[in-house]
Structure 1
Amino acid sequence: MSADQLYESFFGLTERPFSLVPDPEYMYWTPEHKRAYSILEFGIMSRAPITLITGEVGAGKTTLLQKLLSDINDDVTIGLISNAQGGRGELIQWILNALDINIDPAAAYVQSFRVLQDFLLSEYAAGWRVVLIIDEAQNLSAEGLEELRMLTNVNSNKDVLIQLILVGQPELRDMVNAPNMKQLAQRVSANFHLPRMSSETVPQYISHRLRTAGGTGNEFTREACDHIFKETGGVPRLVNQLCDLALLYAWSAEENTIENRTIQAIIDDNVFMNRAANTEEDKS
């Protein structure tokens, strides 16, 4: 029996409200998330060569992308690459696969690039824009980032034929701002860094997800929410992990409200594995 089958009916929920799977339906629009999404939309509408979105692990970047994909206009051909790695030649294969362009994997780099260029030109001629999203872009090498920059040189009548959206952890911004990446940085027309949630936002976030799953939104006391913020540092993914455990603990104790002692019991039992790292981060 899974955790959701254990506590869902007990709390009157239709599903687990704190799943770790990105789900646009559960998106809580903090002011920062609204601004990040606006930057994504602006980047596409303004035909920005490169749009850059960064944030901590679990800050909600991938959920924003899922929302963007569901809202994208019909005149846009979009490709999504998640966690691409490799050097020159391998990245071009990732791009071709993301755009559903069939080519022999053993083809030479020049041939692969020509096929991609021909595809971009044909899409442009048909009135379509091509947007390539690279999630977890901090895993790319400097060579890979430079290869992406070269893609923005492919143009027709001064129009950019492919727009790039780079999404990743904070170190991605450092990589783009490195002295040897000045040409890449100059192509970034829109960028935003998504911070962690504040102590005031966390209770609202928790209540929102509970209501979305059919709950009242009052299952967690304010003291419990404050403790959750302390243990997670406001990172949405970690908040979800701790809240999921809290619902499980409260169900096992037949308690309809999650109080501070429930959160402390989880910490004392050492089942919330991210606590030590977060505590150190909060002190720094």
Structure 2
Amino acid sequence: MYLSHFQLAERPFRLTPNLAYRFQEQSQAEALTTLRVALAEGEGFIKVTGEVGLGKTLICRALLEALRPPYITAWLPDPHLSPGTLRTALARELGLDLPARPTQQKVHELLQEGLTRLVAEGRKPVLLIDEAQALPASTLETVRLLTNLETEQRKLLQVALFGQPELDHRLARPDFRQLRQRITYSCRLQALDRQAVGEYIEHRLARAGAEQPLFTTAARARIARASDGVPRLINILADKALLSAYGRGKTRADWFDVRRAIADTDATEDRLWWPRLQPAVRVTAFGLVALGAYLVLEVVRGGAV
């Protein structure tokens, strides 16, 4: 690979969420602060939404890393769970003992007893659900009912939902109004602006051991435009651009290398507009250009006469 060529200790733009590479982007930092404050206050529901690739899973893992005792956490990364499976998974994540083949009524009873005991011991149970927009409606309702469990002082279980904007659309439906009213804190992640994209790239390169800039200014600007500030796309384009520069024997990735990366990435928002135009539109555009050139030529000729 290109590691030795650029004198890097490891690949700086892996897609796997890595807390060691976490960039302190403002909306992410605000979301993490809001989550910690809301959980400290004992609120029942917190929601974090954002487009694909903006770092929701990374924030979720950062929160798991930050929540120390008395918090006790349960993380459910797979939302495709039935109500019964969710209860069982939650009970096991919290360390509760279940019979070999318990009925759902038994699981519910043991879960309530276990949560009551944990809270009496001074613990703070927290359920984190990633990709929450994909939760079945019945499972989402089960989550709401679990937050009904409470003592006179506080909720037995707090829930943080992480999801794409589709989660907001689902919760706007009339049948979810009860759950929507229980969400006391809500955060929306934002894409990086052009300056932050450059800082993000340099941050990850520094973490990987880079001792000098590996992207030209034009290359960073092109990545910012093509990725629309989405960290996942930035990683994809930057990694491919470095691979291209390595293949050409260059010490830095330039505009050309990023262009090659963009052409190889379907999800980019770059304005490589000419190759993407429909044939009929290309013909029309070419005709307009030709007509413009002809008119300019006629004006020049007329002036010469």
**TM-score, normalization by structure 1:** 0.90
Correspondence for 2:208 among 213, 230, 235: 213
- CA–CA separation in structure 2 for the residues paired with 1:168 and 1:160: 23
1:127 alignment partner in structure 2 = 122
Q: Give the distance between the partners of 1:186 and 1:35, measured in 2 at CA.
A: 22
- 44, 54, 59: which one aligns with 1:59: 54
Structure 1 residue ranges, 4+ long, deviating more than 3 angstroms after superposition: 276-280
Change (3 A) 1:256 1:120: same
**Is 1:138–2:133 an aligned residue pair?**
yes
Q: List aligned pairs for 1:99-118, cutoff 5 A.
A: 99-104=94-99, 106-118=101-113
* Bigger Rg, structure 1 or 2: 2
- Tell me, in whole angstroms, the C-alpha distance in 2 between the residues paired with 1:221 and 1:277: 18
Q: Note the 1:191-230 alignment, pairs <5 A.
A: 191-216=186-211, 218-230=213-225
Identity of aligned residues (%): 31
How far residue 217 of structure 1 moved from its aligned partner, in angstroms, is: 5.8
The residue type equivalent to 1:205 in the other structure is Y
Q: Which of 187, 191, 212 does residue 182 from structure 2 map onto?
A: 187
Letter in 2 for 1:64: I
Q: Which residue of 2 aligns with 1:93?
A: 88
Matched, 1:31 2:32: no
CA distance in 1, matches of 2:185, 2:195: 28
Query: What is the TM-score normalised by the length of structure 2?
Result: 0.84
Structure 1 244/103 Cα, relative in aligned 2: closer, same or farther at 3 Å? same
Quote the RMSD (CA, aligned, Å): 1.9
2:267 alignment counterpart: 274
Aligned residue type for 2:53: G
Q: Deviations over 1:200-236 (max 9, x none)?
A: 2111111111011111362112211121122222111
Deviation of 1:24 (Å):
1.1
Shift of 1:104: 4.2
Task: Name the CA distance, whole Å, in 1 between partners of 2:228 and 2:117.
Answer: 48
CA-CA distance at 1:110 after TM superposition = 1.2
In the alignment, which of 213, 229, 232 is matched to residue 234 of structure 1?
229
1:76 aligns with 2:71: yes
Q: Distance in 2 between matches of 1:153 and 1:278?
A: 50
| Secondary structure class of the residue paired with 1:249 | helix
For the 8 Å contact 1:85–1:91, the answer to whether it is kept is no
Answer yes or no: is the 8 Å Cα contact 1:206–1:217 preserved in 2. no
Q: Give the letter aligned to residue 273 of structure 1.
A: D
How many residues get paired?
Answer: 273
Residue 105 of structure 1, CA deviation: 6.5
Which runs of 5 or more structure 2 residues have no equivalent in the other structure? 274-305
